[in-house]
Chains A and B, each alone.
Chain A
Amino acid sequence: MSARTILTGNTLDTDRVLEGDVAIIGSGAGGAISADVLARAGLRVVVVEEGAYRTPADFVPREIPAFAELYVEGGVRLTRDGSIGVVQGRTVGGSTAVNWTSSFRTPEPTLRYWREVLGITGLSAAELAPWFELIEKRLHIAPWETPNPNNQLLARGAAKLGWHHGPIRRNVSGCANLGYCGLGCPTGAKQSMDVTAIPDALDHGAVLVTRVRADRLRLRADRVTAVECLALDERGVKPTGRRVTLRAPWVIAAGAAINTPGLLLRSDVPDPHRLVGKRTFLQTHNYSLAFMPEIVDPFFGAQQSVYVDEFTWRDGVDGRAGFNMEAAGAQPVVSMHAWNGIGTELADFARRLPHLHTLVSQIRDGFAPDSRGGEVRLRGDGSPVLDYPITDFVWDGVRRSYLAMAECQFAAGAESVHPACSDARAYRSWAEARREIGTLRLRPLNVYLNSTHPLGGCPMGPDPRTAVVGIDCRHHHLANLAVIDGSIVPTSLGVNPSLTIYALAARAATGLAERIGGAGAAGASPG
């Protein structure tokens, strides 16, 4: 084990040129797994990351500091019309450092759709199984057997209604069940990239540069010749004026959905079929709030440990919108954020926080012909913004998931249920909720919507007319660029995405290591 090499962009006082075998942009799920695999294969890896490097002891279990410091755009990266808040991490470890640890393999129907409709071969459940096993072992992924009241109530409602549900597996080791995953795990139990793959990559000689933003890929003919980066100030906001240039024969873009397409658009990467940034999916989340007679204390305990997939595939893979259901209890700001109360209404609501039960539904997009997701565009300053029109397809999913969540909450014993929509009110019974939600007015901004699962924008696939990268994640038009992050996922998934991204990254990076031929390149292969 050699000494770890970490440079902090905000303290650089000269421009720097860094060389290596592989330059990786972003240290989240895709970037960190890639860095680890490639560094273990003996390759010289340089990782640049916009966020700062925090250890578990640095994480402050307070909401506003965490959102400001660890998230992209304060945790609420609004879509262009302001109607959906996209939630992404911006710290070493990326979104994995702040995610809620729910771990699912890619569902069969999704993989089948990729194969049958998108022509993606080599990614069947059986072919991916060894990669899933590798990651599951590595990140201690196991079912969580002690659900908090929020999740127990979800299981109770689902069981009463005979809906299919089960325990969620989580990537934790020695978890104290605090429930502060979203603020950075203060005990280091969460097996996020900042405490697993990144330190391991560093121990295998990788170099990490924090508080540096990859601004452009410099191109010549069909190659990326350099990655031009801007050093940022201590908050990661203003460029300090110092530049960092990465030179490497291979470049991996791993800045996540929205940011990676943004980087490719800014760099004028060849895109003859105008695909970059399009087909960005959100698996839009909508929320149902209930008050239970018992104490729920939604702010404590692992946030998600029970899933309901009764409605995810019920209407066929490409039929009307399918959605899953999970619990979404959290600390006060997040709990109160879903509902736009004023004055007395807000105060009455807030005073009952210990009884609040929150469910979230995630509306699967990207499968039905009329579900084409959104498009990443560039603002005047070159930063990306997602234009995601809320189509009738999505609204129908919102309405039916409001109904299902309300039914579940009443079945679990709720005294009242309130869809997170300021045109709705609290309903006292399932009969009333069914009647009212059936005709509830649904319009942008009044329906609280967000997404922690942006995916796509650089979809993988065999055909350059419909995909930006191949199934091996290599760019279709640039010979030495790969994209390895959530942006390659060609549809939403129907489940939380981290495990899919980890497995695809392990597979793609191992393939790349073999191609580049580092010493012991096969060392990362599973089995």
Chain B
Amino acid sequence: MDDTVRITRRGLLRAGLLGSALLWAGGQIGCGGRHAASRPAAGSGERQALTPAGEAILGAVIPVVLGSLLPGDEKERRRVLAIGLDTIDRYLAFLPEALQREAGDAFATLDLLPARVLLVGTWRPWSETPPATVAAFLRSARSSRFDLVRRIFVFLQSLAVLAWFDQRAAWPAIGYPGPPVERTSANWSLE
């Protein structure tokens, strides 16, 4: 009883602060910060829409959402995660520019220290956040009483689903034999 009350209060406080933090961050990004924050990853020459912040956040979130569905072998795991991020990048690149910006802004905001501290409960950058912490964040976000926080959860979770289940490597474990017709595509690797 005591615990629930405390958690709820803390949740409330967090979300209240979070709301302000997001507003603040959104404003920052909106007025000029956006260009730096929302531009596709510079290093990975081929990125068309996925930002470095997005890449870092999804890099932490996807393995946690997919859990044991991902291959155990480290090299194979890295390969399929890279395909997943490529898929998300291409997918985002087909969205209207306003939505690409919205996704970039959402990632930029989630990557800011206040959001990490308030939502995820850690000072560490996403790439160094332990999976257990990310899992706890995702669970609490899913059942949050705040629509905005649940919206963040749905956004991240559905990108993880999108990154994985259309990959050949995903299919044996889930009993999907793959499509009955094979085609090639200029825009997609279709791995």
Quick check: is A250 within 8 A (CB to CB) of the other chain?
no
Q: Which residues of A contact B171 (CB under 8 A)?
A: 332
Give the 4 A-B residue pairs with the shortest CB-CB distance, closest first. Answer: A61-B179, A343-B67, A68-B94, A332-B165
Q: A383 on the interface (CB 8 Å rule)?
A: yes
Decide: A445 and B154 in contact? CB cutoff 8 A: yes
Known: A238-B97, A445-B151. A332 touches B91 (CB 8 A): no
* Pairwise interchain contact B173-A350, C-beta atoms closer than 8 A: yes
Bound form: Cα–Cα A333–B165 in Å: 5
22 contacts between A and B (CB under 8 A): A60-B190, A61-B180, A62-B190, A65-B187, A69-B94, A73-B95, A74-B95, A187-B181, A237-B95, A297-B175, A331-B166, A332-B166, A332-B176, A340-B142, A346-B65, A346-B66, A347-B67, A351-B69, A353-B174, A383-B98, A443-B150, A446-B143
Establish whether residues A64 and B98, one from each chain, have CB atoms under 8 Å apart when the complex forms.
no
If A64-B162, A73-B99, A342-B138 touch, does A350 touch B143 (CB 8 Å cutoff)? Answer: no
Contacts A380-B98, A443-B150 known; 18 new A-B pairs at CB < 8 A: A60-B190, A61-B180, A62-B183, A68-B93, A74-B95, A82-B147, A178-B181, A237-B95, A332-B176, A333-B165, A336-B161, A342-B64, A347-B69, A350-B174, A354-B174, A354-B176, A379-B98, A423-B143
Contact B87 A64 (CB under 8 A): yes
Using CB atoms, name the residue of chain B closest to A385: B98
Chain A residue nearest in CB terms to B155 = A82
Per the CB 8 Å criterion, the residue count for chain A at the interface is 55
Complex formed: what's the CA distance from A381 to B187 in Å? 27
B138-155 interface code vs A (CB 8 A; 1 in, 0 out): 110011000100110111
CB distance from A387 to the nearest CB of B (A): 14
Q: In the docked arrangement, what's the CA distance between A380 and B102, Å?
A: 13
Do A337 and B94 touch (CB < 8 A)?
no
Contacts A331-B176, A332-B170, A342-B142 hold; do A69 and B98 have CB atoms under 8 A apart? no
B21 within 8 A of A: no
- Closest approach, in angstroms, between the C-beta of A94 and any C-beta of chain B? 17
Point out residues on A near B: beta carbons under 8 Å.
Answer: 57-65, 67-69, 73-74, 76, 81-82, 178, 180, 186-187, 235-238, 297, 299-300, 331-333, 335-337, 340-344, 346-347, 350-351, 353-354, 379-381, 383, 422-423, 443-446
Distance from B64 Cβ to chain A, minimum over Cβ atoms (Å): 6
Chain A residues with CB under 8 Å of B135's CB are 342-343
Question: Which of the residues B91, B173, B184 comes within 8 Å of A68, measured between beta carbons?
Answer: B91
Residue of B nearest to A82 (CB): B151
Q: When chains A and B are docked, how far (Å) is the Cα of A406 from the Cα of B72?
A: 36
Minimum distance in angstroms from A52 CB to a CB of chain B = 11
Q: Give the docked Cα–Cα distance between A180 and B155 (Å).
A: 26
Give bound CA distance, A65 to B154, whole Å: 21
Assembly CA distance A351 to B66 (angstroms): 12
**Given A235-B93, A237-B96, A383-B98, A347:B138 Cβ within 8 A:** no
**Docked complex Cα distance between A58 and B184 (Å):** 9
Are A344 and B68 CB-contacts (below 8 A) given A73-B95, A383-B96? yes
Q: Which residues of A contact B173 (CB under 8 A)?
A: 350-351
Chain B residue numbers with a CB within 8 Å of A81 are 147, 151
CB closest chain-A residue, reference B95: A74
Q: Which residue of A lies closest to B150 (CB)?
A: A445
With beta carbons under 8 angstroms apart, the residue of A180, A336, A347 that contacts B68 is A347
User: Is the CB–CB distance between A347 and B66 below 8 Å?
Assistant: yes
What is the distance, in angstroms, from B129's C-beta to the closest C-beta of chain A? 15
Contact residues in A for B20 (Cβ distance below 8 Å) = none
Q: How far is the CB of A79 from chain B (nearest CB, A)?
A: 12
Measured between alpha carbons, how far is A196 from B65 in the docked complex, in Å? Answer: 43
Alpha-carbon separation in the docked complex, A166 to B98 (Å):
44
Contact A82 B188 (CB under 8 A): no
Q: Does B157 contact A (CB under 8 A)?
A: yes
A299–B99 Cα distance when bound, in Å, is 30
**If A59-B183, A82-B151, A445-B150 touch, does A333 touch B67 (CB 8 Å cutoff)?**
no
Are A68 and B69 in contact, with the CB atoms below 8 A? no
Question: Which B residues touch A443, using CB under 8 A?
Answer: 147, 150
Closest to B67 in A: A343
Out of A60, A354, A445, name the residue touching B185 (CB < 8 Å): A60
In the complex, which of the residues A57, A235, A237, A343 has the most CB atoms of chain B within 10 Å of its own CB atom? A343
Question: How far in angstroms is the closest Cβ of chain B from A441?
Answer: 10
The answer for the CA separation of A186 and B87 in the assembled complex, in Å, is 22
Contact between chains at B143 and A422 (CB < 8 Å):
yes
Residue contact A346 to B93, C-beta cutoff 8 Å: no
Chain B residues contacting A236 (CB-CB under 8 Å) are 94
The 8 Å CB contact of A64, one of B64, B67, B143, B188, is: B188
Least CB distance, A278 to chain B, in whole angstroms: 23
**Which residue of A is nearest B64, CB measured?**
A343
Q: How far is the CA of A444 from the CA of B66 in the complex (A)?
A: 24
Question: Knowing A74-B95, A238-B97, A445-B147 touch, does A63 contact B176 (C-beta < 8 A)?
Answer: no
List B contacts of A67 (CB < 8 A).
91
Bitwise, B75-114 to A at CB < 8 A (1) or not (0) is: 0000000000001001111111111000000000000000
- Do residues A381 and B98 form an inter-chain contact, with CB atoms below 8 A? yes
Alpha-carbon gap, A108 to B68, bound state (A) = 51
- Which A residues are CB-close (under 8 A) to B154? 82, 340, 445
Give the docked Cα–Cα distance between A350 and B96 (Å). Answer: 31
Q: Does B158 contact A (CB under 8 A)?
A: yes
